Amino acid sequence: MNHQPVEGFSKKTKNDKVDWLVNTYLSGNQEFKNILTQYWNDDKDLQKLHDEFSENTISNFYMPYGIAPNFLIDGKLLALPMAVEESSVVAAASKAAKFWLDKGGFKTTIINTEKLGHTHFILNVEPHKLLHFFNFKLKKKLLESTEAITANMRNRGGGILDIKLIDKTAELKNYFQLKASFNTVDSMGANFINSCLEQFGKTLKEEVANDVDFSQEEKDSLQIVMNILSNFTPDCIVRAEVSCKIVDLKDDSGISNEEFAWKFKQAVTIAEIEPYRATTHNKGIMNGVDAVVIATGNDFRATEACAHAYASKDGKYSSLTHCTTDNGIFRFWIDLPISVGVVGGLTNLHPLVKFSMALLGKPSAQELMSILAVSGLAQNFGALRSLVTTGIQKGHMKMHLFNILNQMGATEDEKQHFVTYFKDKTVSHHEVIAELNRLRTE
């Protein structure tokens, strides 16, 4: 079927957008229209709020919003909100939280909170000449030109921390950067950083044009390519860790504490040296991190990009978590680069985000960094604990059981039967279908 481009789609009403989609791509099937409209909120003001979060909104895409209780973090007992669709994520986090509850819980340290952005530009000039210009003239002008933009942030204790000239000409002809570091306090700070960087670009252009030390040819060669923050924040780091005596690990899987500690450390070391394993290992960490990031209205795409870039910072993709078992002490930790905010964005708009923030005690950005690192560490601990003992499928498939049963249209009585049936068995899709067929045949 050949479809024609649509004109003015964004200007159509929501109903008209839905009708056009259904009629154009779905043969006018009203079942699909019903699917979309059944997720519209009856509260028209709330629905309008959701519609305005994004462009061309036609419905709401729901995700389960769960709670992982019993997280003892730096002496505070918290229940973590988690928005995630994957089976077993909340259960694994909750189980890990309970495991460490009587062992001192999770400890965190904010290592740094520096965020970065760059003005990328092309200039045909000798690097040493540009460096002299930057050090003795430009840097001061850059700071002066952004004073109005940074005033409020400076009053809150943040602002521009430093500006450096970076010579990248060895990698791209005539390519330089103004690399700026920022403290954005409790906001994620994307708009603030980008506004500062765009002013840097304007000031750079003006100062080069007006400086007598540059030739006309050099002035004409200046091109501001772009001004943009970086989602890679290797100096915005939080550490979360757990530790206890190996004799106190008390794993209930049937293996000794010493064997559990040894196998656990081996699993982490394998993720440190083997990128194929590290990718899945870190994905599991981000299961926990992203779930809380989404629930608190932050940017999970930026969080993911930063974490995986950091995992590759030494030239080879590696584990974000680490483990030691020295002198009879089991220690497990994560250094997580993460940039989040607790003001601005959705934090004051989305009702469930407001609930999440209230549930967490209205944390500062640094406190939220700690909570997110803990959620990732807990998720990783839970996954590795299963992997080195009972295997990942036993717990994961039990959580997946209801997805399979719902796909098969199982009744509540049938679901209860399967809870008992798989109490001491590992769930498999084949076994569920076979047992369901047997039940229904009888």
In the residue annotation, 396 being an active-site residue is answered as: yes
Phi, psi for residue 65 in degrees, rounded to 5: -115, 105
In the residue annotation, 137 being an active-site residue is answered as: no
Write down the catalytic residue from 205, 219, 283, 322: 283
Closest CA to 369 of 343, 347, 345, 336: 336
Write down the catalytic residue from 86, 235, 272, 274: 86
Contact 37, 31 (CB under 8 A): no
Q: The tokens of 253 are what?
A: 């899987």
Q: What ranges in 156-256 are assigned the alpha helix state H?
A: 190-210, 216-221
In the residue annotation, 198 being an active-site residue is answered as: no
**CA-based R_g, the chain, Å:** 27
Distances (CA, A) of 364 to 69, 184, 185, 188, 230: 20, 12, 8, 11, 22
Write down the catalytic residue from 186, 198, 241, 299: 299
CA 360 to chain centre: 18
Write down the catalytic residue from 120, 265, 396, 398: 396
Contact 205, 224 (CB under 8 A): yes
Q: How far apart are CA 430 and CA 438, in angstroms?
A: 12
Closest CA to 376 of 334, 418, 409: 334
Contacts of 432 (CB under 8 A, 6+ apart): 401, 404, 405, 408, 418
Our separate counts of H helices and E strands in the chain read 17, 10
Q: How far apart are CA 229 and CA 113, in angstroms?
A: 15
Map residue 239 onto helix, strand or coil.
strand
Closest CA to 177 of 115, 114, 116, 118: 118
Our CA dihedral for 52, 56, 60, 63, rounded to 10 degrees, sits at -100
Q: How far apart are CA 291 and CA 283, in angstroms?
A: 12
Contacts of 434 (CB under 8 A, 6+ apart): none
CA 132 to chain centre: 40
Q: How far apart are CA 78 and CA 95, in angstroms?
A: 14
Q: How far apart are CA 212 and CA 268, in angstroms?
A: 58
In the residue annotation, 299 being an active-site residue is answered as: yes
Burial of 28 (0-12, 13-18, 19+ CB in 10 A): exposed
The DSSP letter of residue 328 is G
Active site residues: 86, 283, 299, 396
